[in-house]
Chains A and B, each alone.
Chain A
Amino acid sequence: MNNPFRKDLESRSRPEACTVVIFGATGDLTHRKLIPALYNLQVEGALPAGVKIIGFARRDKSDEEFCRGLEEVNKKVSRSGHDDSIWEDYAENIHYHQSEFQDASGYQRLAERLDEIDRERGGNGHRLFYIASAPEYFDDILENLKKAGINRNKKGFWSRVIVEKPFGTDLPTAKHLNQVVSKTFRERDTYRIDHYLGKETAQNIMVLRFANAIFEPLWNNRCIEQIQITCSENLGMEGGRGAYYDSAGAMRDMVQNHLLQLLSLVAMEPPTDLSADGVRDEKVKVLRSLRQWDTPELVADNVVRAQYIAGHVDGENVVGYREEDRVDPESMTESYVALRVLVDTWRWSGVPFYVRMGKQLPKKATEISIHFKEPPTVLFNALSGGVPGGNVLVMRIQPDEGISLRMVSKIPGSSLRMEPVKMDFHYATSFGKGSPEAYERLLLDSMAGDATLFARRDEVEEAWKFIDHIHHAWHQSKLPPVMSEYVAGTWGPKEADDLLGKNGHKWRRL
């Protein structure tokens, strides 16, 4: 039904009121991210009136107990604070549904409950299923949704599903999961969430590239020497994460999804339009163009894996990876990975993309740096010492979102001396208002049917294809590449420095 009052009121697609069913409702993601995100949307008046939330989980709880637990966490983590009056209204629309994920009757009861909500709405209603459970339940949940018939769109009313990562653990499992999802929901109703894409700076990559005429002419192998994408964390396996992490590792946990998504945004061609498929068509072309490291030798030459050993981070002693709680003492899971990635397209031929991700590094930071070529060796570069470093454009994703550009400037004085200087833009300094949490944006987009910031099936599979070759070399070849070590609190193993050194490059100092 058309709502004429929405037109021109906001410069975004209109989210529609729906019932949000969260599977895995007693988990950390629901408490710390999803419920606070929806609450913040309500505070900002962005959440459509009439949104209902049903938490689906195994534990036995009443609505009141469920809401009380959510409220306690919301008070601690909500970015807009906690207002009792608003929470009271918000919580009236939150309900709890107890069921095992494998229990078909639980889904029948859910279907009846959804029908009852729809009847109160005067007929039918939209439904958004958020699968935030452990990945081993994805199949059961999707199949049971189908059996209960609540996956189907009714006339004029949609049913959509949001699937949390990990979306598979390799290409075969991702394909299997895609098949299960596609049997239950149409691709256009499937939203594979990657919260990195909801971050302000990730969204700003396209704006920076395509709304500023000065960058795009330089965005190619004629002007760019190399690109680095870094995600460093100064944490280890705190909070019982060891068991999950040891089965995943840095490559699966971060590179396959977040970092390859960022890479594809940086490397893609201009899309024909800003529609979800317009953007995702271009992103997937990048992933298809990744040169495959499909032999152990190529993997050894282009990928470094490592585990941290005991050291110091932020002045505290930390144990080595294999000594961490719930980690196999003989684990061969990487806590650090560095890759040289080549994108075989006309634009990027010969430009290496260096991607690194590590745990227990000196600080928390995620950023993309574009390193431009040095000026010709005439004029200033012909002087002794040359020009001190080329231009570097940095897009900081977290924690201090912003953009900086390094340039060379003359030092004041009678002699000709040069130093690099930095022009720095900080979101927090320029825009006093805090950025919304990534989940706020992504939840609204899914209610509005805008899948631009969600991964499409072919993107996920292409990314796994690239990663699987490396995993195969690590875990199934006769002569697997070595597992290196680095001291916790340092910037990774020497081998990672050597990876860039071969091409005369260095990791950017963060």
Chain B
Amino acid sequence: MSDYADNDYAMALGKEVAIADVDKELHLLWEEDKASTNASLINLAVYSEQKGAIIKNSEHVQIITREHACRAILIGIDRNNPDASIRAWITAHCHLSHGRKSVCCEQIAFQLTGKSTGRLRNTVFSHLNSDLPLVFWWQGELSSLFSERLYSLIDRFIFDSSEWANPLESYGCIGEAMQSEHSLLPMDIEWTRSSQIRMAVAGLFDDPMAASALQHMSELRVVVHPKHRMAGLQLLAWVIQRTGWKQSKELPLGSDNGDIYHYETTEGSDVVVTIVSDPLSAPVGMMEFKCARCEVRVTRDAGSPYIRQELHAGVHQIERCTPSNSDDSADLVMNQLSRGGNNSLYRAVMPDFLKLLGGELNCGCEVEDV
């Protein structure tokens, strides 16, 4: 926190208020402006242990509230700071709805340092809007603060597995949380990164020629940015879970180009799957299926606002482009929130994905009281 001046916080987070006065100050905020409508469909908590992230997260909330009216609660944690303190700021993010009404969403930001982090639950969650679901966006590695006392309050838990150093261990923690709290819905931003690629692939396999060739494929190639190997594995898990392909060799073979896997389709064709890491690729840059009679390809160039769909089957050719989401985390969270539902596909794909990650689930998180 010392890296940022108080002025930076005030600029980004609004008015600093005493913890005990948060509700009163929020009321005053609305009394000042009678022309705006206060809207909220969810409680959105954004949690980070990274220094200064709370300021960036206020910008994220500004974006998210364009489409998802919420009460936002930003939580910044600095556990290594020797001083125990809690500070709070309030503001509102307002947008013109359809060019007419000004619709505003409240934001409360909390910065907790030192031993105060143990007061997270009591301090922060007393400010939830009652009856509205709690969507909790956890940024970075799971820490000891991810405990039953915390996740028992959460309805949807958003995380980004591409940020994890040890995904298997972190997935283990989430798996354990889901077992103990059945209503907890996990939402992985890394999975959302590939959603439009999956939609585009599914769209091409609506074509009868592509669909009839699926179980005769000989190659599947997935290109991802090195930071997004998780997305590549998730896409492969999705394919094998949907198609019923069986792994024909036990271990993936490494090569200079990435991971290589061997599968057998339900029709007995051998498929070589390559997950290529390319530093010049978009987070998810390509998914390509090939067999003798058909090629199905979905590509996205780094930074491109478009996804290209191609199907080549003799004279039958389809080529078209559709818009792509941006790679920005806030946009991806917005996309997740728009889809709603119980994320059944992700949960169905998880077992195959975890097998690809290799090893047994093992929760190594140490838990502390929050």
Contact = CB atoms under 8 A, between A and B. Distances in A.
Interface of A: 1-9, 11, 14, 16-17, 42-45, 48-50, 83, 85-86, 89-90, 92-93, 119-123, 426, 428-434
A8 B41 contact: no
Nearest to A80: B323
B74 interface: no
Given A3-B211, A123-B208, A428-B97, A89 B201 contact: no
6 contacts: A3-B211, A5-B198, A5-B202, A9-B198, A43-B323, A49-B203
B34 interface: no
B91 interface: no
Given A4-B242, A430-B69, A122 B313 contact: yes
A429 to B, nearest CB: 5
Given A5-B198, A89-B320, A45 B69 contact: no
B129 interface: no
A120 B315 CA distance: 6
B66 A432 contact: yes
B: contact size bracket: 35 or more
A502 to B, nearest CB: 39
Interface of B: 37, 39, 41, 65-69, 95, 97-98, 101, 103, 196, 198-209, 211-212, 214, 238-239, 242-244, 306-307, 309, 311, 313-323, 338, 341, 344-345, 348
Contact of A429 (B39, B239, B311, B317): B39
A14 B317 CA distance: 22
Given A42-B322, A49-B320, A429-B97, A8 B205 contact: no
Contact of B67 (A6, A86, A431): A431
Contact of B200 (A45, A90, A120, A429): A45
Given A86-B322, A428-B98, 4 more contacts: A1-B208, A5-B201, A7-B345, A50-B206
Nearest to B65: A432
B242 A121 contact: no
Given A42-B320, A429-B37, A432-B95, A14 B206 contact: yes
Among A3, A16, A17, A83, max chain B CB count under 10 A is at: A3
A474 to B, nearest CB: 40
A43 B321 CA distance: 9
Contacts of B243: 4
Contacts of A89: 319-321
Contacts of B39: 429-430
Among A85, A428, A429, max chain B CB count under 10 A is at: A429
A430 B207 contact: no
Contacts of B315: 119-120
Contacts of B41: 430-431
A429 B206 contact: no
B318 A45 contact: no
Contacts of B211: 1-3
Nearest to A89: B320
Nearest to B202: A5
A28 B146 CA distance: 58
Contact of A8 (B209, B244, B319, B345): B345
Given A122-B209, A430-B41, A45 B196 contact: yes
Given A11-B341, A49-B320, A1 B212 contact: yes
A5 B205 contact: yes
Contacts of B98: 428, 434
Contacts of A50: 206-207, 311, 318
A211 B156 CA distance: 21
B97 A432 contact: yes
A88 B39 CA distance: 39
Contacts, number: 119
Contacts of B338: 433
Contacts of A45: 196, 199-200, 203, 307, 322-323
A432 B67 contact: yes
Given A5-B198, A43-B323, A90-B320, A49 B204 contact: yes
B211 to A, nearest CB: 4
Contacts of A434: 98
Given A1-B212, A3-B202, A430-B39, A8 B207 contact: no
A92 B315 CA distance: 16
A120 B209 CA distance: 11
Nearest to A121: B316
Contacts of A431: 41, 67-69
B339 to A, nearest CB: 9
Contacts of B103: 429, 432
Contact of A48 (B196, B198, B206, B239): B206
A121 B323 CA distance: 25
A14 B207 CA distance: 12
Contacts of B101: 426, 428-429
B27 to A, nearest CB: 15
Given A429-B97, A430-B69, A17 B37 contact: no
Contacts of B37: 429
Contacts of A4: 205, 214, 242-244
A85 B198 contact: no
Contact of B318 (A49, A85, A432): A49
Nearest to A122: B209
A49 B309 contact: yes
A258 B61 CA distance: 40
Nearest to B64: A432
A86 B322 CA distance: 6
A6 B316 contact: no
B310 to A, nearest CB: 9
Among A43, A44, A50, A123, max chain B CB count under 10 A is at: A50
Contact of B69 (A1, A11, A429): A429
B42 to A, nearest CB: 10
A6 B309 CA distance: 16
Nearest to B40: A430
Contacts of B323: 43, 45, 83, 86
Nearest to B239: A5
B63 to A, nearest CB: 11
Contacts of A16: 206
A92 B317 CA distance: 12
Contacts of B205: 3-6
Among A5, A121, A428, max chain B CB count under 10 A is at: A5
A49 B311 contact: yes
Contacts of A42: 320, 322
A11 B322 CA distance: 21
A122 B208 contact: yes
A44 B322 CA distance: 7
Contacts of B345: 7-9
A1 B212 CA distance: 7
B348 A8 contact: yes
Contact of B322 (A17, A43, A428): A43
Contacts of B311: 49-50
Among B198, B244, B322, max chain A CB count under 10 A is at: B322
A17 B207 contact: yes
Nearest to B293: A122
Contacts of A86: 306, 321-323
